[in-house]
Amino acid sequence: MGAHRADASNKVVAPHRNKSDIKTPAPIPAFDGVALRDLQLADTYGAAVDAHGDVVQWGAGFTDELDPKAPLVPQKTLVGMDIVKLQLCGPKVYALSRSGSIYVFAAERILQLTPASWRDKLPGASATIDYVKLDTVADGRPTKERFVSIAAGKHHLLALSQHGTVWSVPVDEHANAYGQLGYSQTALNAAPEAQRTQVEAIPWRLEPQILARKRQGAGSSASLLDVPMGDLPEGRVWISPSNIRFATQLRPVPSLRDVEIAQIAAGLEHSAARTPTGRVVGWGRNTYGQLALGESSFGDTIAVPTEVRWPHAVLGADTRCIDLVAGAHNTYFVMRSNGAPPAGKSDDEDAPPKPLVLTDRVDVLAAGCGERGSLGNALRSQICSVPVRVKNVSGLVEYSEQDHTVVPIGVRSLTVGPDGQCALVVDVNSLGEQNHRDVWVWGANDQYQLGNGKHSNIATPVLLTLPLPSGEAAAQKDGPTLNRLLLVERSKVPGKTYEPDGSGSQRKYHIEQHIVAGGDGMAVYGRVVL
């Protein structure tokens, strides 16, 4: 849903359709019955991981040049690497394997072909497509790390190791313009000579713009941000930033080396991390207050990870962040506040019932740019540096028949697209059947990103509803609630791996319907629970 008109030729949201806009959710026949581990959308292409861990792509570079209007058939690209997670960064795709390795390959099909000069003896070369496995370097020495999560902004990639350490790598020359890498000393690769098979890494400074300006004022040499791509010292030449070998060394964020991190998040040009105890730090661009550091810490660039201080309005007996999401120029925090102990049941049947006591509270807070409604607080503030509650999805409760008390409705997932389109999934068990989950949407909607059939931005979360089939609208007596989109989770669901001709092998999986925002749209798919 929500394909941008300019991207209609790439058919990112709906590969089989020729319409320029997908106003409401529509099925993708190519993925009927296909179980997926992940699905991501970019402006001009899409990518998914099937149940076997193989990558599937469509969009730019995968269309039929002879017949652009022909239905687009997604193609397998990176195969046999047991991939579990993807991040799309312009001309590059980053992939996390189940074993904890991170790979990068080109987004376009023609660029995935192995360069003839590098086909032999090149570490990391694939028999199917050209890819590179990212190395890890700490204190100038190679290390071996196993990663459990990746998150990408527009120009940078974050990675979280199994030991809770945050690493990052530049995607292009703008990767640290606002300090979102968390460090300035990095390594760029030089173009190899014809007879050379190894790519040479060259130490370089990739400084935030504010620091580069100060150095120039002091008469120091310019950084990469200040000079055009071209000749390096000693006549060496940079590999183009669009090349997958531009920078292939992950490095730990120095100030977080001794801090255990449980979760990472990346907006377009900022980064954030959450500790196991629910504390949050942010760094990078803060032009719109997206780091949620308060008015006293407002600035263009925050180059060092700085802790978020929660406003008094959300402080309870024990308030902590349990989930962290970043996207566009915004950061979102799912907060849980522990209150009084449960009321419990009485063994005395004649005793008066104990009052219902709300033991916990779950709130969703937002910070950053709200011009397109992304803050979800009914306002359209350009700058919001103090986290505010997202309306309609904060403090939701329901009655628990099992505990005989009121309990909070939890947040299952939250996704944010680069334009600021947001979708939040909550658990709803009061329908009589478990695992039915409502979808709330808000934010950017000028290209039908939210899938509600309209194209005006929404500043307050609303339930995502689907149009009733013709003839049923008149018979609908219970209102629009029965027509809202509900995501489900089921075990032992038949699913198959992806093959362009539909011949994928089939088995039963534990499937959870999941929604993801990206590019100019959103998509719902059946995600395999590993």
What would the pLDDT profile of 45-97 be if each residue is shown by its tens digit? Answer: 999 999 999 999 998 888 765 566 666 789 999 999 999 999 999 999 999 99
User: What is the pLDDT, as a whole number, of residue 200?
Assistant: 83
CB 25 within 8 A of CB 487: no
Taking residues 265-278, what's their average pLDDT? Answer: 97
CB 439 within 8 A of CB 425: yes
For the chain, the maximum distance between any two Cα atoms, rounded to a whole number of angstroms, is: 90
Question: From CA 467, how far away is CA 197, in angstroms rounded?
Answer: 57
Name the band, by pLDDT with cuts 50, 70 and 90, for residue 237. confident
Question: From CA 126, how far away is CA 133, in angstroms rounded?
Answer: 11
Question: From CA 306, how far away is CA 292, in angstroms rounded?
Answer: 10
User: What is the pLDDT, as a whole number, of residue 361?
Assistant: 87
What would the pLDDT profile of 284-339 be if each residue is shown by its tens digit? Answer: 999 999 999 998 777 789 999 999 988 876 666 688 999 999 999 999 999 998 86
For residue 508, pLDDT beyond 50:
yes
Name the band, by pLDDT with cuts 50, 70 and 90, for residue 17. confident
Question: From CA 7, how far away is CA 44, in angstroms rounded?
Answer: 6
What is the Cα gyration radius of the chain?
24
- Edge-to-edge, what's the strand order for the sheet holding 156-161? 141-143, 135-138, 249-252, 166-170, 156-161, 147-152
* Residues near 356 by beta carbon (within 8 Å), at least 6 away in sequence: 343, 399, 405, 406
Name the band, by pLDDT with cuts 50, 70 and 90, for residue 480. very low
For residue 251, pLDDT beyond 60:
yes
CB 328 within 8 A of CB 237: no
**Start-to-end C-alpha separation, the chain:** 27
CB 259 within 8 A of CB 275: yes
User: What is the pLDDT, as a whole number, of residue 24?
Assistant: 85
Amino acid identity for residue 236 in this structure: R
Element housing 217 (H / E): helix 209-217
Name the band, by pLDDT with cuts 50, 70 and 90, for residue 363. very high
User: What is the pLDDT, as a whole number, of residue 296?
Assistant: 75
Q: Which residues pair with 76 in a beta bridge?
A: 56
Please tell me whether residue 372 adopts helix, strand or coil conformation.
Answer: coil
Question: From CA 145, how far away is CA 447, in angstroms rounded?
Answer: 41
Please tell me whether residue 133 adopts helix, strand or coil conformation.
Answer: strand
The region of weakest confidence among 191-195, 200-204, 506-510 is 191-195
User: What is the pLDDT, as a whole number, of residue 315?
Assistant: 64
Comparing 396 with 404, the larger pLDDT belongs to 396
The rounded mean pLDDT for the chain is 84
CB 197 within 8 A of CB 120: yes
Question: For 285, phi and psi rounded to 5 degrees?
Answer: -70, 135
What would the pLDDT profile of 433-474 be if each residue is shown by its tens digit? Answer: 456 899 999 999 999 999 998 989 999 999 998 876 655 544
Q: Could you tell me if residue 59 is left (phi over 0), alpha (psi between -120 and 50 degrees) or otherwise beta?
A: left
Question: From CA 429, how far away is CA 87, in angstroms rounded?
Answer: 32
Question: From CA 355, how far away is CA 34, in angstroms rounded?
Answer: 48
